[in-house]
Amino acid sequence: MAGPITWILLVLLVGAIITFLTRTLQQARIVALISSGIALLISILMYLGYESGAGMQFRESVMWIPSLGIGYNVGVDGLGLPMVILATLISFLCVIYAWGEEHRANQFFALVLLMDMALVGVFASLDFFLFYIFWELTLIPMFFLIGVWGGPRKDYSAIKFLIYTHVASLAMLLAIFAMYYFNGKMTGTYTFDMIYLLDAYSRGMVPISPYWINLIIGGMLFGFLVKMPAVPFHTWLPDAHVEAPTVGSILLAAVLLKMGGYGLFRVIIPLMANPDASTRFVLVIAVFGVVSILFSTFVALAQKDLKKLVAYSSIGHMGYVSLGVAGAVAFGTSDIPRILANTGAMYQMFSHGIITAVLFGSVGVIQHATGTRIIEDLGGLTKHMPKLAFIMLAGFLASLGLPGMSGFVAEFSILTGSFPQLPHFVLLAMFGIVFVAAYHLWAIQRALFGPYNEYLGDIHDIAIYELIPLAILVALIIVLGTPNPVCNHLYHGVMQPTATHILSILPEGGLL
């Protein structure tokens, strides 16, 4: 009998097909809403039935191509389950947010459902072959969302997105094949089973040279860093965000970027536990994280386009994930800071997902109402758009790390946990926090407050179908940023046991 993960995938796939075949706008909306809603409901039920600290759960394993060692193998732990919930939540809210979409609506909503299915597949796959199929499948709906519903330079941005991320995926694929080949050659077992392979390589049970294990880690790491993206592999992201429709930007920043961070936890940390793996990868990840934080901060200060500013802020926030991972695997005299850094990095992925969805959703509302995203052309929007101003202000304050919101919990955990191992990197990241606050407050002051730009005319406030999903996300940001049972359970009951287990495979005291 099919388990909950299979049901989520089937509901979204069938929903996408039916939505694509619908004849009217109303039919497309309803089918997409029901399909995404059922997927979200199943993921919430999985969360309610999740046993803290019990390892992989809701597992399903069926051999697909036995001769090649390929199987349909899925399951989630405290890392994968929050990402599945994030994917289904954001997709469901995107359907509501895009209720007013009328241009080829059946195709639009079908692509949103297909994207949701592919993302859930990535976060739940426990077979490398299946993992790669879902990983590549995410490119298709995003390519068409940008290419069909995007802005004036949509063709260029869609192709750039596809080429950049596909080339990085090929490097990852070569690394997967290398793991498969060497394991089969050395042990006689040819399999793509992710848990088996990562366990074998982390323990050094596959006797290969340091050259090959480091090449495998390098190929995997390159694929994940481009997807996050980390500087200097980030140039595809601002173009994709600027030209993508609002829902495309939300899906891209809130969920798609998390695939790279997920790969660091699921694949890179176990591989770095290999006795022959170079410890320099720890510093490489830390450098990429801090450079991404600082570079994106100073570039964001110079942006005139509100959407581009938010895009660069996403690069910086994902840099904290890299810093947290590096701090978790580095040398430490105590496991407590390292577990704190690792848990904080996981929490940052979920937190950033809901925060950036609010920001891009707010920018989309402004563009729809005023016809512009240029900060200098805005001003005084609070007078005509008070509801939108409240939502956007909450999103910006959460993004800059205001206490009482989820972003603060995540970043505080990362910085506090990483400091004993990587003090200089943490100090550099904290230096950037000052300027993060500067560009957020500058954008808020220019766009929302001050004298109203009369050239914008008589604009309307946020529509109800746009307000509902963004208000839900703001409420969630506050719930996950304050002491309460929901926040405590997600952090301590779901993520922390998995973060601890991931680090348990490393040598005692870390890698440096």
Rounded Cα gap, residues 332 and 309, in angstroms: 36
- Mark residue 404 as left, alpha or beta (left: phi above 0; alpha: psi -120 to 50; beta: remaining): left
191-217 residue pLDDT tens:
999 999 999 999 999 999 999 999 999
Average pLDDT over residues 453-462: 88
Please state the three-class secondary structure of 5-50 as a single string. HHHHHHHHHHHHHHHHHCCCHHHHHHHHHHHHHHHHHHHHHHHHCC
Tell which residue, 503, 383, 504, 394, has the closest CA to residue 452: 383
DSSP 385: -
Given pLDDT bands bounded at 50, 70 and 90, which one contains residue 2?
A: confident
Q: How confident is the model at residue 144 (pLDDT cuts 50, 70, 90)?
A: very high
CB of 256 closer than 8 Å to CB of 138: yes
Residue 508 has a CB neighbour count (10 Å cut-off) of 6
Map tokens 């009951």 to a residue. 493
> What does the alpha-carbon distance between residue 288 and residue 283 come to, in Å, rounded to a whole number?
8
Which single residue is written with the structure tokens 């407590």? 336
> Helix (H, G, I), strand (E, B), or coil: what is residue 60?
strand
> Which pLDDT score is estimated for 458?
85
Cβ partners under 8 Å of residue 511, min gap 6: 272, 273, 279, 282, 329, 330, 331
pLDDT at 332 over 90: no
- Our measurement of the distance from residue 420's CA atom to the centroid of its chain's CA atoms, rounded to an integer in Å, reads 27
Give me the pLDDT at residue 507, please: 85
Q: Give the pLDDT band of residue 429 (cuts 50, 70, 90).
A: very high
Q: Rounded to the nearest 5 degrees, what angle is found at the Cα of 382, between the Cα atoms of 378 and 386?
A: 135
Collect all residues with Cβ–Cβ distance below 8 Å to 44 and sequence separation of at least 6. Answer: 85
Judge whether 398 and 479 are in contact, CB under 8 Å.
no
Q: 386-399 and 423-448 helices cross at what angle (nearest 10)?
A: 170
Distance CA 307, CA 374 (A): 9
pLDDT band at 14 (very low <50, low <70, confident <90, very high): very high
Span 485-497, pLDDT tens digits:
999 999 999 999 9
**Residue 51 structure tokens:** 């046993």
Which of 65-88 are b and which e, b meaning 16 or more Cβ less than 10 Å from the residue's Cβ?
eeeebbbbbbbbbbbbbbbbbbbb
Give the pLDDT of residue 53: 81
Does the pLDDT value for residue 455 go beyond 90?
Answer: no
Query: What pLDDT sits at residue 329?
Result: 94
Res. 406: pLDDT tops 90: yes
Mean pLDDT, the chain, rounded, equals 94
Share of the chain above pLDDT 70, in %: 100
Residue with tokens 């991320």: 165
What distance in Å separates the CA atoms of residue 227 and residue 19, rounded to the nearest whole number?
A: 29
Q: Are 42 and 117 in contact (CB under 8 A)?
A: no
**What mean pLDDT is predicted for residues 494-512?**
89
Helix, strand, or coil here: 277? coil
pLDDT attached to residue 510: 77
- Percentage helix, strand, coil for the chain under 3-state DSSP, each rounded to 5: 75, 5, 20
Do residues 202 and 273 touch, judged by C-beta distance below 8 A?
yes
Question: Hey, what amino acid is at 194?
Answer: M
Q: What is the pLDDT of residues 36-71, one digit of tens each?
A: 999 999 999 999 999 988 789 999 999 999 999 999
Using alpha carbons, select from 129, 137, 99, 147 the residue that is nearest to residue 364.
99
- Shortest CA distance to 410 belongs to which of 328, 327, 352, 356? 352
